[in-house]
Chain A
Amino acid sequence: MNAPVLRLNLKGDISQVREAAGQVQEFLLCHRCSEQARADCELAMVEGCNNAIKHRPPGSPLQPVILEVTIEHGHVELRITDHGPGFNWPQKLELPAPERESGRGLYLIRRLMDSASYVRGPDRNVLVLRKKLAPK
């Protein structure tokens, strides 16, 4: 049996990420994910997609950010693919000083999910986030 997959192409701006978050929530709810897992995956997915869209190079042909959500072997996997220049995933994810207004997105992703891997390639970057689903 094929694992359930939700695939979304985000072609537009940041506001589309919130719409996608609603679809991800529904998908996870249909597959009986707990409220906590849904909330954690939603925030991690939003942070990952916001990053990918914000760092899209200006004026380049609009390539969609692709979000795939898979449920398999008791895990949720979020896979976010973009075609921007990418960034170097920090070796150590630390919180900025409390008064700093930015720089918490990757830290949150890492804390909310069980694993996070980022592969920066010549024509695409892929962020893969996984979270174990607690047995109901």
Chain B
Amino acid sequence: MKMEINGEALRVSSITQLGEANAKAFRDWVRGALKKGHRNIEVDLSQTTFVDSSGLGALIALQKTAVSRKGKLLLLNPQPAVRQIIQLTRLDNFFEIVNSE
């Protein structure tokens, strides 16, 4: 996984999987990296092939973290399988999903 800072946003990318085995560590790693002034969290899901209910839980936790900092969580370019899980659990209106070509 990679992390980069872009102004007020912290962007995480190169995430292959987000499941029970790594979801809590991922959540804590991102939270721990947030510094004063970082409001938004961007999670690039373009390389993520698998997300389970624990992975969704970590993303929900980060959404709440961002809101508590008066910012937002953006999910970038989720693959179809991951988008399907987000839709099945009716979180597509809860998360802000950005698809770019």
Residues of A within 8 A of B (CB): 14-15, 17-18, 21, 39, 42-43, 46-47, 50, 54, 95, 98-105, 107-108, 111-112
Contact = CB atoms under 8 A, between A and B. Distances in A.
A18 B91 contact: no
Contact of B53 (A21, A39, A104): A104
Given A39-B81, A42-B50, A43-B52, A111 B90 contact: no
Contact of A46 (B52, B57, B81, B91): B52
6 contacts: A14-B21, A50-B52, A99-B60, A100-B60, A104-B56, A108-B53
Interface string B9-33: 0000000010111000000000000
Contacts of A105: 52-53
Given A98-B94, A99-B64, A104-B53, A43 B85 contact: yes
B53 A47 contact: yes
B48 interface: no
A108 B54 contact: no
B64 A98 contact: no
Contacts of A47: 52-53
Interface residues of B, number: 24
B28 to A, nearest CB: 13
Nearest to B67: A99
B72 to A, nearest CB: 14
6 pairs of A and B residues whose beta carbons are closest in the complex: A101-B57, A98-B94, A104-B53, A105-B53, A50-B20, A15-B21
Nearest to A100: B60
